[in-house]
Amino acid sequence: MRLTFKQIILWRHADAAPADIEQGETDMRRNLTTKGLSQAKKMAAWLHLQLSEPSILVSSPALRTIQTAETLKQKITEAHALRPDANLQEVLKFLSDLETKNKDQIKLGNSLIIVGHQPWLGQLVMHLTGVSGAEVSIKKGAIWWLRPSLNTSHKYKVFTVQTPSLLKEPTY
């Protein structure tokens, strides 16, 4: 599959509380912890400084990913295909369809930000970069920023990896 997004930013949801099974809470309804909200705010502030144009922001429908994405203060598109138990093929199909629907925005240079879950985020890094071997693990709240490779047709390269622990608290 060939994607043409100028940049793809993969953002794993920030730290979330475990599901309270005794209270009937499901994995999809897990909230960010205080630490997780801080992680998300740090990353959002850093992303705002880095991105010069608007982004296409898509998120898993899980509460913790929505809460992470909301810190960017942009329009969020929730996608069932990005749920916690999604497989890589579902994610790739969604991205292909998303690209078809947003061709005009992509031509304007809009970046794609995907807020999601392990293990499929790591698998997506491997697929887009063409790396094989050991699995890629993305830490909670971290981003992997990919840009098209100039050397390898239809592949991306890692531009930067950023974790919340390396960032300062945002000042508003």
Report in angstroms the alpha-carbon separations of 109 from 40, 97, 103, 112.
Answer: 24, 18, 10, 10
Distance of alpha carbon 144 from alpha carbon 5, whole angstroms: 15
Distance of alpha carbon 28 from alpha carbon 84, whole angstroms: 8
Task: Give me the architecture of the 8-16+27-166 domain, per CATH.
Answer: 3-Layer(aba) Sandwich (3.40)
DSSP 58-105: EE-SSHHHHHHHHTT-S-EEE-GGGSTT--HHHHHHHHHHHHHHTHHH
* pLDDT of the residue at 1: 59
Q: What angle do CA 30, 36, 86 make, to 5 degrees?
A: 50
pTM, rounded to two decimals = 0.92
What is the dihedral sign for C-alpha 91, 92, 94, 99? positive
Candidates 32, 31, 25; CA nearest to 141 is 32
* pLDDT, tens digit only, all 172 positions of the chain: 567 788 999 999 999 999 887 887 899 999 999 999 999 999 999 999 998 777 899 999 999 999 999 999 999 999 999 999 999 999 999 999 998 887 776 655 678 999 999 999 999 999 999 988 878 999 999 999 999 888 777 789 999 999 998 887 766 5
Domain boundaries, the chain: 8-16+27-166
Distance of alpha carbon 171 from alpha carbon 22, whole angstroms: 38
